Structures are given as C-alpha cells and as structure tokens.
Amino acid sequence: MSNATIIAVDAMGGDFGPSVVVPGAIEAARDKGIALLLVGDQAKVQAELARIPLDGVAYDVVHASEVAGMDEKPSDILRRRKDASIQVACRLVRDGQAHGIVSAGHSGATVACGMFIMGRIPGVDRPALATIMPTEKNPIVLLDVGANVDCKPHHLFQFGLMADAFARDLLSCESPRVGLLSIGEEEGKGNTQVKEAYELFKLAQNGINFVGNVEGRDIFSGEVDVVVCDGFVGNVALKLSEGLSTSLGRVLKRELLSGLLPKIGTLLAKSAFRRFAQFVDYAEYGGAPLLGLQGIAFVCHGKSNSKAVRSAVKLAATFVEKKTNERLIKAISANEELTRYGKAIK
Amino acid sequence: MSNATIIAVDAMGGDFGPSVVVPGAIEAARDKGIALLLVGDQAKVQAELARIPLDGVAYDVVHASEVAGMDEKPSDILRRRKDASIQVACRLVRDGQAHGIVSAGHSGATVACGMFIMGRIPGVDRPALATIMPTEKNPIVLLDVGANVDCKPHHLFQFGLMADAFARDLLSCESPRVGLLSIGEEEGKGNTQVKEAYELFKLAQNGINFVGNVEGRDIFSGEVDVVVCDGFVGNVALKLSEGLSTSLGRVLKRELLSGLLPKIGTLLAKSAFRRFAQFVDYAEYGGAPLLGLQGIAFVCHGKSNSKAVRSAVKLAATFVEKKTNERLIKAISANEELTRYGKAIK
C-alpha cells in the first residue's frame, strides 16, 4: 500500500453502520485505486466483507472495540472512548498510517477527535465544516455549517482562506469567487462580526478573489463559488434549504398528480424531479470536508447510503492527491499577520 | 372618520411610488371601510386619485414635500428629512391622528422613524420586523428578519412575546407554538445567544406556548407557528428561501418544458406553479409587521404591487381592530422581571 492514498474509514459510523459503509468504501477503493483501512469491530466488518467481491482492492481491517454513541457528548467520547472507531481512525492519520478519514458517525465526535488527535494546521484556530451545495450553475462551497457556533471575525476570515484552497481543487477553478454571507451587498452591511471580517478579507494576501458580501438569495444562483458564514448561520441555511426543497417538492408533486392528466403528470414529474432531487441529494458529494486539520477529514450524513460513502471516500482521496492541505497551509501562513490582527481587534 | 380605523399610508414609498400605492390603499379602504390618510406629494397623489373610482372611500391627502432616498442612511433621513412622507406618516400616529402606518419605502427609514417618532412600547428594547411565511400547513411568523442584526438573548425573548401576541390575531389561534431557531432540537443546542434566550423562554409568564428549539428544516413543515431568531439570521433565512424557491422553480420549469410532451408539460406546470408561487408571493400578506411600536406599522417590499399594498393596509387595520398591541403590552409587562433579568445576565 506504500504509494497509494490511504483512507481510514470509520466502518461503524452512520445509521446503517458497516452494512453500507463497508461496501461503499470498497467500491471507492476499487474505482480509484485507494488503499483502505476499515476501522471497527473486526467480526462485524469481516462479516460485511464476506458478502461482497474484493478482487483488486487493497484494504486492511483495523480493530476498534468501541463505537461513539450518538447521544454522547463529543468531549466525553474524546476523553473516555479511547478505543472508539473514530478515535482509532484519527490516530492512524496522526501516526502517519493514513492520509485521511471518512466517518458517517457522530459529527461532533469527528470534529473533536479530528481537532485533538489529528491536530490543527498552525494558524487555524477552528476547523470548519464545509458543505458542497448544488446550484443552478456550478456547485458551491458553503462553510462553516456547524462546527463553530460562536465565531469571531478572524475565524470567518480563516474559513474563507481554507475554503478557497479547497474550492480550487474541488471545482478545478483558478480563482474561486469568495463571498461573505450578509444581509446586504454593500460594504458596511451586516452584523458586527461580518463587518469586521469584511475588513480582513479586503486585506487578504495570496490572491484570494474576495467578491464582497453576498445575500441569502445569491447562494443558489451560482454567482459565487465560496460562501463564508459562521456555523450557526450556515447550519440554519443548510437545514432550511433541505426543508424547503422537500416541502416544495411535496407541494409540486401533489399538484402535478392531482391535475387534469394525472398519469402524464406522473411521467413528467418523474423526469423533472430527477433534476430537482440533485438539489437535495447529499449522496452526490457524499460528505462535508472538515477543513483545517493535519490530514483530510470527511463527515458524512448519518443517513448516508453506500453511494454517499463511496463519493466521500473518493473525494477525500482527491484532496489528498491534489495536496490541497499544502495549498491551505500556504494561504494561512501568507495571511498570518492578518489573522493575528483579527485576534488583536477582538 | 371618527370611529373608523385610520391608516396613514406613505404614498411615495416603493419602486413604483403613488402609481401602485394609491390604488392599492384605496381598494383596501373600500374593501374594509378603513379611513385613509395618503401622505406624500399632494400633486402626485391627486393625479393618481384622479385615475381611479373613489366612491364610498373615506380618505384625505396629507402633504409631505420630501421623499426618503433609498441610498440615504436611516439616521440621516430621521435627522434631516423632517418633511419626508415616512416621517409625516409616523407623526400622524404619534399625534393620535392615525392608528398605524404602511410604507413600501426605505425599510431602514421606517424602522428608524417608527422607533423614534411613534416610539416603542415600554419594556421593548428593539422593535422587530416579522414576516408571514407560507408553509405546507398554516402560515407562520418568522422574526426578526432584519431590524436588529446584533441581538442579546433578552431581545430574542422580547421578539417571541411580541410575535406570540400577533400570531394569536393573525392565525386566529389560541396558543401559537413558539419555537427558537437553532441548530439542534435539544435544549442546550445552539450558540450562546440562543442558549441563554432558551432559559428566558422557559421561565416566561402569561401563557406563551414555548415549544423549544426548532431547526431550519422545521420552518416550512408548519410544525410551529412562530419562529424566533435574530435579524441577521432571519434576513439570511428569508432571502435564502426566496432565492432557493426561485432557483428550484426555474430548474423544474425547464425540465417540464423540455420533456417528451412539452405542451402538456406547459399546461401542468402552469397549474402546479400556481401553488408553488404562493411560497414566494410576498403580495399574499403584503408586508412585514414591525412589532413593538406605539401603533401598528407595516413594511412592504420595495417591489410591491397594488395587491401587496392592499393586503398590507387591510392587515394593518385588522391588528388595530383586534387591539393586538394591547395584548402585546400585557405580555411584555407580565414578563418585565424576566426581560430585566435578561439584561442583567448580559
């Protein structure tokens, strides 16, 4: 496995555990020549492996005797569950045995274990959870979507630098347009946090293409590539988008099927909803990258199916191969003084 | 005009000024027996009045020589534009000549003039802008959607008390379910501001039906009647909803029309989109009530058509007639200690 990208996958995570994580990860490994470390209960993981073809896949099972419970506090998991699969996976990265992790388990635990076991990149105060959202045009990166609920302006600034580095590789785009989520496009609009972050972005070094404030209505029009906000606002935005899409979908389906021509309505609805579904299909990208760690980390939705796990493992490997973290480290260090300035003014 | 409800309408406000405001207000007055004071440039208002039937409508024109510019700061409008139509309208309420105002003009100016000319209700620190949003079930009240971008926990608490009073009359509902917008349903989830506001809501007097935290995805499912958040989050949520609905609508329309049966697709789409459009039709309720003032105030969208103005004027009159502000005053005074406690802990 020496030259391959090695991804440690938390095999126990998610609502469906090894039954979807193991096949999804194996498929990704086969598709892309990734070397896998499947971390979890040896017997359960082996039982799933026995069900599927494994030819041509480089994998190993790393036993972990515990699983992080969904109702446990991240700090308790970190302190007390030393043999939880997520902890073991993070230690593999810390010890140089893997390049990245993917987990569909307790996302708070992944953030905590990633931060304290894998460690942060110097100059990053808070790792941020980024989500990749489809829009009418290109997909965009929205962050933070929940890792940090109380943020200072310089945290938002760091989020922007990190997302810029990721968006370049994700969207294969030379100069992603980075916008700050606010409540008016003009400079000077927003709350105190956003207004101060704006000042930092204006001064940013290393060629970040800061396009100023963007409003809620601009997220889905695809006019920017990166949207920066704090984890409270981002999480509300993400869940509101999911909820509204689902509600609108239900309303429309009902209307189409109750129309004059219900059978044709069904046919048309089916095709139309295929595109619509992409707006809410988390499986498309599979997971949310957790940026700012020493190594690549991907958080998948608890409801992930094997397609989502496969996408996330492949995307994690892409970021390893494109050395996205090296780009991120450069962006942060080029702006070291500014993030210090940010701290000084708060 | 002695016994009628009197609404002062800023005839100059909005992108289309008197040409839509005057006919919309006159129609509302005729529908509901409201007495109107049309505030603005006498000549321009009279010119619009000359175009429409006025039989059976009680109205008067109050001259105002200035108009608040959309690019002016609210504080400048308040200080320097003493004869702006929005200032004159607010003074009519202050002086007891009208019960409420409706404006489609500069919303920041309406907030500023409402607050400093009409005055706040004792115990209300910050007036809040509420929006009435359609959901799959009943419409809900979301506030604040932009009047206050930096809020303390006790401000959120006051918003909840105010919205509760309004929702009772708006939704004709005995005990509206009031939720706090957060990023997890369990108590203890959210940022510092929300967690502290939660404590205040738990202790609330006067029979508020606080149902705890709600997430972004719960807004449109109609499981609550009132959703409380700060003005930054609320404005992002409102604009994101508008943007996403519009984007999804465009995607679906394109898919339906490019299907196998484009003509039937067009037909079906037309009927389906009628319902869909209700999700984004601000004209349905016409405007956003600005709560916490001595008098009723409604802020309309700048793009308002005459239907929206008519709806807003009628709804403003409804709140006057139902004495909603008296209910609001009671709720605030019953919780006086708690809002003081809120101030003490921040």
Q: Do B260 and A245 make contact, defined as CB atoms within 8 angstroms? A: no
pLDDT digits (tens, 9 = 90+) for B62-120: 999 999 998 899 999 999 999 999 999 999 999 999 999 999 999 999 999 999 999 99
**B183, B237, B244 ranked by CB distance to A149: nearest:** B183
Q: Cα(A11)–Cα(A217) distance, rounded to whole angstroms?
A: 38
Cis peptide before B144, with omega less than 30 degrees from 0? yes
B182 φ, ψ to 5°? Answer: -145, -165
Amino acid identity at A108? G
Position B345 pLDDT exceeds 60: no
Going by the DSSP 8-state scheme, the letter that residue A261 receives in this structure is: -
- Residue B314 CA to residue B285 CA, distance in Å, equals 9
Q: Where are the beta strands (DSSP E) in chain A?
A: 6-10, 35-40, 59-63, 100-103, 128-133, 140-143, 177-181, 209-214, 226-228, 287-291, 296-300
Q: What pairs with residue A297 in β-bridges?
A: A101
Backbone angles phi, psi at A7, to 5 degrees: -115, 125
Residues in B touching A136 (Cβ below 8 Å): 247, 250-251
A233-236: list long-range contacts, CB under 8 Å, 24+ apart: A233/A181, A233/B232, A233/B233, A233/B236, A234/A131, A234/A142, A234/A143, A234/A144, A234/A145, A234/A146, A234/A181, A235/A145, A235/A146, A235/A149, A235/B183, A235/B216, A236/B181, A236/B183, A236/B215, A236/B216, A236/B229, A236/B233, A236/B236, A236/B237
Predicted confidence at residue B273, as pLDDT, reads: 64
Length of chain A: 346
Q: Single out the residue of B216, B213, B153, B211 nearest to residue B189, CA to CA.
A: B213
Max CA-CA distance within chain B?
65
pLDDT tens, position by position, A48-84: 999 999 999 999 999 999 999 988 999 999 999 999 9
Is the pLDDT assigned to residue A12 strictly greater than 70?
yes
A282 min Cα distance to partner chain B (Å): 15
Burial status of residue A274 (CB atoms within 10 A of its CB: 0-12, 13-18, 19 or more): exposed
* Residues of B whose CB is below 8 A from A144: none
Task: Select the residue of B183, B244, B279 nearest A236 (Cβ to Cβ).
Answer: B183
* pLDDT mean across residues, chain A: 89
**pLDDT value of position A346:** 44
Residue B263 contacts A, CB cutoff 8 Å: no
Interface list for A 74-93 with B (CB within 8 A): none
Q: Answer yes or no: do B248 and A250 touch at CB < 8 A.
A: no
Assigned architecture for domain B128-284+323-346: 3-Layer(aba) Sandwich (3.40)
**Cross-chain Cβ contact A149/B218 below 8 Å:** no
Smallest CA-to-CA distance from A290 within A139, A148, A133, A185 is with: A148
Interface membership of B135 toward A (CB under 8 Å): yes
> Average pLDDT in the A20-36 region?
97
Q: Reply yes or no on whether the pLDDT at B12 is more than 70.
A: yes
Q: Does A256 touch chain B (CB under 8 A)?
A: yes
What gap in Å lies between CA B279 and CA B292, rounded to an integer? 27
Q: Which residues in chain A are closer than 8 Å to B108, comparing Cβ atoms?
A: none
pLDDT band at A321 (very low <50, low <70, confident <90, very high): very high
Beta carbons of B75 and B112 less than 8 angstroms apart = yes
Separation in Å, CA of B248 to nearest CA in chain A: 7
The predicted pLDDT at position B262 comes to: 63
In chain A, CATH 3.40.718.10 covers: 1-119, 130-281+323-346
- Beta strands B287-291 and B128-133: pairing type? antiparallel
Task: Summarize pLDDT for A212-245 with one digit per residue, the tens.
Answer: 999 998 888 888 999 999 999 999 999 998 888 8
Parts of chain B belonging to CATH 3.40.718.10: 1-119, 128-284+323-346
pLDDT, tens only, A125-166: 999 999 988 887 888 999 999 999 999 999 999 999 999 999
Residue among A182, A216, A265 minimizing CB distance to B243: A216
CB pairs under 8 A between A and B: 187
What is the radius of gyration, based on Cα positions, of chain B? 21
Q: What percent of chain B has pLDDT over 90?
A: 69
Check residue A283 and give its pLDDT.
Answer: 53
CB-nearest to B191 from A149, A243, A272 is A149
What whole-number distance in Å separates Cα of residue B318 and Cα of residue B276? 27
3-state DSSP assignment of residue A214: strand
The minimum CA-CA distance between A6 and chain B, rounded to whole Å, is 33
A286 contact partners, CB below 8 Å, separation of at least 6:
A298, A300, A304, A307, A308, A309, A310, A311, A312, A313, A314, A315
Reply yes or no on whether the pLDDT at B280 is more than 60. Answer: no
* CB pair distance less than 8 Å for A216 and B235: yes
Q: Which of B277, B281, B297 is nearest to B289 (CA)?
A: B297
Which CATH fold topology does A1-119 show?
Answer: Isopropylmalate Dehydrogenase (3.40.718)
Q: Is some CB atom of chain A closer than 8 A to the CB atom of B346?
A: no
Q: How far separated are the first and last CA of chain B, in Å rounded?
A: 47
A275 — pLDDT class (breaks 50, 70, 90): low
Q: Is A217 helix (H, G, I), strand (E, B) or coil?
A: helix
Q: Which two tokens stand for residue B284?
A: 């349905």
Residue type at B113 in one-letter notation: C
Sheet strands (E) in B156-276: 177-181, 209-214, 226-228
pLDDT of B288 strictly over 50: yes
Q: Residue A248 CB: number of other CB atoms within 10 A?
A: 24
pLDDT exceeds cutoff 90 at A8:
yes
Q: What is the pLDDT of residue B346?
A: 44
Tell me which of 3.60.20.10, 3.90.1640.30, 3.90.380.10, 3.40.718.10 is the CATH number of domain A130-281+323-346.
Answer: 3.40.718.10
Model confidence at A338, pLDDT cuts 50, 70, 90, reads: confident
> What does the alpha-carbon distance between residue B296 and residue B291 come to, in Å, rounded to a whole number?
7
- Give ipTM to 2 decimals: 0.89
pLDDT over 80 at B264, yes or no: no
Query: What's the mean pLDDT in A193-203?
Result: 94
